[in-house]
Amino acid sequence: MTFAATVLTLYPEMFPGPLGVSLAGRAMADGKWSLDAVQIRDFATDKHRTVDDTPAGGGAGMVLRADVLAAAIDASVAPGIPLLAMTPRGKPLTQARVRSLAAGPGVAILCGRFEGFDERLFEAREIEPVSIGDYVLSGGEVGALVLLDACVRLLPGVMGAASSGDEESFESGLLEYPHYTRPQMWEGRSIPEVLRSGDHAKIAAWRKSQAEIITRSRRPDLWERHIGARVQPPSGARHEEEE
C-alpha cells in the first residue's frame, strides 16, 4: 500500500526537497509513498490570484483566506485522509502521533504563511493544528517536511529489519543511550569498557542506565513523565507487592 501525502502550499517547489534523496527518496522511487504538492493559489478566484487579506480588527501582516483554502482542501484532500495544518499554535507533534499517521493511508498537510489562517477554516473543516516546536518558522513547509520525514521512515520496508526503531529516543519514553564505534581510541578517549565485554545483559543494563541519566539531565519533562508512569499504578489496580 502506498502512503499518500498531499501538501497544500504557496511554494510547491519546496517539495519533495530533502525528501527526494536518501531513505525517503528511495522509498518514493520504490512506490512506498507518494507526494502531491498542491498550489493553493490555483484556487483563488480573482484575476490577481489573491490568497490573503488584511487582519480583521487591524494589526500587522496578512491572513490566509478561508474561502480559498477551503476550495483547495475540497478539491485535493481525499475523504478519510487526516488533514493537518502546520502552525506554531498547534499541538506539539509527538512520535506517537507520527506512528499513528504512518500506520494509516496517508496525510494531507496545509502549510501556513504570513500571520496564519482565518480561524473559521478550523470550524468549517476537520483540521488538526500541529506545531513542530516552540519557535516560529517563516511558514509551515519546513514543518511539513519534518512530519513527512518522520512518517516515511516508519513505513514498512523503508528502514530495513536492522532498525525497527523500537530502541529509539521517545519510543520508550526515554532519550536513547549513547553510541560508539571504531577507532577504539580517539584523541585519548576510549570506548566504554562494558561495550567490549560481550556480556549482553551487562550491556543492556548499562544502556538503560545511560538512557535514564541523559533523559533526566536533558529532558526533565520526559523524565518526570517516565517516573510517573512507572510508580503510579493505574487507578483501581493493586500493587504487585500486595499480591
- Per CB under 6 A, residues contacting ligand ADE are 86-88, 112, 131-133, 135-137, 139-140, 143
Nearest to 219 by CA among 154, 150, 172: 172
- Nearest 5°: phi and psi at 93? -70, 135
Question: Which residues, including other chains, have CB under 8 Å from residue 18's CB and lie 6 or more apart?
Answer: 24, 145, 149
Answer positive or negative: Cα dihedral of 9, 10, 12, 18.
Answer: negative
Determine the distance from the C-alpha atom of residue 117 to the mean position of all C-alpha atoms in its chain, rounded to a whole number: 21
Closest to ligand ADE by CB, 92 vs 156, is: 92
Closest to ligand ADE by CB, 106 vs 112, is: 112
Cα separation, 74 vs 211, in Å, equals 46
State the cell numbers at 37.
504538492
- Dihedral angle of Cα 129, 111, 19, 170, to the nearest 10 degrees: -20
Contact 5, 36 (CB under 8 A): yes
Instruction: Kindly state the smallest distance separating residue 67's Cβ from ligand ADE, in Å.
Output: 21
Closest to ligand ADE by CB, 60 vs 136, is: 136
Residue 94's SS3 state is coil
With cell 502546520, the residue in question is: 86
Determine the distance from the C-alpha atom of residue 26 to the mean position of all C-alpha atoms in its chain, rounded to a whole number: 20
In degrees, rounded to 5, the angle at the alpha carbon of residue 152 between the alpha carbons of residues 17 and 1 is 120
State the cell numbers at 74.
475540497
